[in-house]
Amino acid sequence: MSANIVHSEHIHVMLHAFMHTGMSYGTSTYYIDEGTVIWPLPDGFEPDVRGAGRRRVDRQTADAVGWMLQDTNVESVNFRYGEGRDLPRYTYRQPRQQWSMVEILNAISGYEYQTCEHPGWRTSEARVFCEALRQQCIRALPGYDDGPWLIGPDSRPIAAHT
């Protein structure tokens, strides 16, 4: 398996998607739970009533979250190849193109593939961010809210209703 440093545009697109899909559901935050990921909470996290940490992703925090994503990616590549590469500090920019939810889901998978090489990936903030973004994108897919949440013997698919 090879690992590459993703272009900053890739991170711009992921952040933009997180901010915009989250707003349509009333939240642009992700959580880090005690014992699951990072504890104590990293800078920029607020304690939550559930004992978790919450980071809001918006224009004010986009540079810091993007830096975390970039840094985790570089850490993975450096671990994989025994390098000591470093990049200039990340700065969020509006993406150059609009991307569909399916394309964003693919971009998440691409980022994860490039970033999972180091031992800290499973407990990283970047992994939590990716999973939260993936869930937001899935909920934003057309027709997602139309089907039943739980399926029983009397349930019928949406297509059967037409």
Residue 152, domain member (yes or no): no
Of residues 31 and 109, more confidently modeled: 109
Looking at the domain assignment, is residue 79 inside a domain? yes
- Res 111: pLDDT: 98
Residue 38 lies in a domain: no
Mention every residue, 6+ apart, whose C-beta is less than 8 A from residue 83.
77
Q: What is the pLDDT of residues 62-116, one digit of tens each?
A: 999 999 999 999 999 999 998 888 888 999 999 999 999 999 999 999 999 999 9
Task: Specify the pLDDT at position 35.
Answer: 44
d(CA 142, CA 139): 8
Least Cα distance to 51 among 65, 32, 37 occurs for: 32
* Per-residue confidence (pLDDT) for residue 6, from 0 to 100: 96
Q: Is residue 117 part of a domain?
A: yes
Q: Is 69 part of a structural domain of the chain?
A: yes
Which two structure tokens, joined as six digits, stand for 157? 């698919």
| Domain range for 114 | 9-25+58-142
Total count of domains within the chain: 1
Contacts of 59 (CB under 8 A, 6+ apart): 19, 92
Alpha helices in the chain (DSSP H): 8-24, 62-81, 101-115, 125-140
100: in domain:
yes
pLDDT one-digit tens code per residue, 45-66: 554 545 456 677 888 889 999 9
The CA distances from residue 130 to 90, 100, 143, in Å, are 18, 16, 22
Residue 50 CB coordination number (10 Å): 10
Q: Report percent pLDDT > 90 for the chain.
A: 43
**What pTM does this model have?**
0.81
77 inside domain: yes
pLDDT of residue 152: 93
